[in-house]
Amino acid sequence: MRRFILVAGLMVAGLAATQPLPLPLPTPTRAPIPPPPVAVLTDIAVAYAADEGMQRLRVEAWEEAGPAMGNLVGARVDYFTVEPATIELLSGTSFELNELAIFTHGLHGGLVGGAPLKLTLEAPEGLVDIALALQDQRLLATQRGIGRLWIESLLPRGTGTGERYRLPVVIIVR
């Protein structure tokens, strides 16, 4: 009896090896996922960094000509720190840009008070009210999403290449 089962098993295995493989079933097609909304870059304000006596950022409306450099000609900004690093808002709420604490540091680590900075908003269209950001230097969240507020020093770094230090602040609207 064992011999019969072994022979029958070998015959079935041999037949299975000669049978063509079934064709794969076509995979169902799904509609493509639309890309996220395009981010728009908008220069919204010029600001002046804090110094030892001033804790708050001084923000002014953006002018195409840029800020007056005055007594900072020749100064360098090696890096700066920004607090908060993330701005979290609920839709319909706002954030005053002068609530940012930005401290710029020169080549030897000392504070460079009053250093001019450019604030640029990179966000999907409709994330915040751009007109209000330009006029009142306030970010009013209008819909859910994620964007960035780029802060760039208008003074060059000490590298001699003319590059400027930039740092993003993440904006999350829930």
Q: What is the pLDDT of residue 174?
A: 92
Backbone angles phi, psi at 134, to 5 degrees: -70, -40
Backbone angles phi, psi at 83, to 5 degrees: -135, 130
Mean pLDDT calculated for residue range 42-66: 75
Q: What is the pLDDT of residues 73-122, one digit of tens each?
A: 778 889 999 999 999 999 999 999 988 888 888 888 888 888 889 999 99
Domains of the chain: 39-173 (2.60.40)
Q: What is the pLDDT of residue 159?
A: 72
Determine the Cα–Cα distance for residues 73 and 112; give it in Å rounded to an integer. Answer: 12
Any idea what DSSP says for residue 24? Answer: P
Q: What is the pLDDT of residue 69?
A: 65
Which two three-digit tokens encode residue 56?
A: 């708050």
Residue 4 pLDDT level (bands cut at 50, 70, 90): very low
**Whether pLDDT at 6 is above 50:** no
Residue 3 pLDDT level (bands cut at 50, 70, 90): low
Q: Is the peptide bond before 168 cis (omega within 30 degrees of 0)?
A: no
Determine the Cα–Cα distance for residues 141 and 130; give it in Å rounded to an integer. Answer: 10
Query: Structure pTM?
Result: 0.72
Q: Is 18 helix (H, G, I), strand (E, B) or coil?
A: helix
Q: What is the pLDDT of residue 15?
A: 52
Nearest CA to 131 out of 166, 84, 94 is that of: 94
Nearest CA to 69 out of 152, 154, 167 is that of: 154
Q: What is the pLDDT of residue 140?
A: 94
